[in-house]
Structure 1
Amino acid sequence: MAITALQAAKLACSTSGWTLTNLQLQKILYIAHMLHTGRHGEPLVSDEAFEAWGYGPVLPVVYQHVSAFGDRPIKNVFHRVPDVSWGSPEHQIIVDAVERLSRMNPYRLVEITHEPVGAWHRNYFPGAKGIDIPQEDVVAEYKQRFPDAERAEQRV
């Protein structure tokens, strides 16, 4: 069951202890979304598509919600946003992504999402705004990054 972009953002920020910046949050959410989509065949975030912006994939509603923080850590501005069900696949993948990626340099996260195998790379055009990253490109990125995962699923 997919969750909203703001639910995903709230969980990621709270899991980090409210230390994530907007740039880190966007990249971590995208990576979690790509992993969830590849593993479960459905998007992590249901209410909005990621867009290809200059610094990588972005959920515009999340960007707008937290943009006032600039490059500072995001504080809890998600008071009316429902929590993600504890223990759900969505909860687990976001928690795992934050635990693995939140200490990484934000620009390293940008580099990861900019790699040529990525969905962002296929859809970004300098100067263009509002270009959705199609789900089929997200799935293709997962298959490129994790070819052994698909082979393991086929053996089951």
Structure 2
Amino acid sequence: MTVRTIDAARYLSILSGWKLSNLQMQKILYMADMNFVGQTQQRLLDEDFEAWDYGPVLPSLYHKCKAFGAKHVPDVFWGATDISGTPEGKMIELAWKNLKSASPGQLVEATHSSLGAWITRYVAGAKQIKITTQDMIGEYARRTAKTAA
């Protein structure tokens, strides 16, 4: 089952103590979705990421949070459903645990990896170029093969 972007963003924000910027949320949710799809062949989120200049972006989340710039995003996720205890929520918890100490620059670097799906889709200045489920499955396979080597 996929979850709505606002549900995932609100849950991640709660885990962080409301200390995440739009960019940090985007990157952590991307890594959670990529790992989830790589392990289950199912998408975590109900929205496709797009290959923007600063990496993978969920357009709806970007537009909801862009007014806050690099500041922490407050609770703007009205109508979000609690996903704690679900497999999707657990993947977001794992991503938060593994990435909470990463700086925004390190998160951008991770999603710009030569192993990543973003690099295969990115066109400078372009928007609306989707990162597909198959792209994410390929990224997961490349990343896990590298860590196993």
Shared fold by TM > 0.5?
Answer: yes
The whole-number CA distance in structure 2 between the counterparts of 1:81 and 1:91 is: 13
- When the two structures are superposed, what TM-score results if normalisation uses the length of structure 2? 0.94
The whole-number CA distance in structure 1 between the counterparts of 2:120 and 2:11 is: 28
Instruction: Give 1:8's aligned residue.
Output: 8
By how many angstroms is 1:96 displaced? 1.4
- When the two structures are superposed, what TM-score results if normalisation uses the length of structure 1? 0.90
Q: Which runs of 5+ in 2 are unaligned?
A: none
Instruction: Give 1:90's aligned residue.
Output: 88
Q: Which amino acid aligns with 1:140?
A: G
Q: Is the partner of 2:131 in helix, strand or coil?
A: coil
By how many angstroms is 1:99 displaced? 2.0
CA RMSD of aligned residues (A): 1.5
Question: Relative to 1, partners in 2 of residues 1:149 and 1:39: Cα closer, same or farther, differing over 3 Å?
Answer: farther
Deviation by residue 1:42-97 (Cα, 9 ceiling, x = unmatched): 00002x1100000100000011111111100111111311121x221100010111
The whole-number CA distance in structure 1 between the counterparts of 2:135 and 2:24 is: 22
Q: Which runs of 5+ in 1 are unaligned?
A: 151-156
Choose which of 113, 120, 123 in structure 2 pairs with 1:122: 120
Report if aligned partners of 1:20, 1:102 keep a CA contact under 8 Å in 2: no
The aligned runs of 1:1-156 (5 Å cut-off) are 1-46=1-46, 48-84=47-83, 86-147=84-145
The whole-number CA distance in structure 2 between the counterparts of 1:97 and 1:104 is: 11
Structure of higher CA gyration radius: 1
The whole-number CA distance in structure 1 between the counterparts of 2:114 and 2:22 is: 23
Report if aligned partners of 1:16, 1:99 keep a CA contact under 8 Å in 2: no
Identity of matched residues, %: 42
The whole-number CA distance in structure 1 between the counterparts of 2:68 and 2:120 is: 29
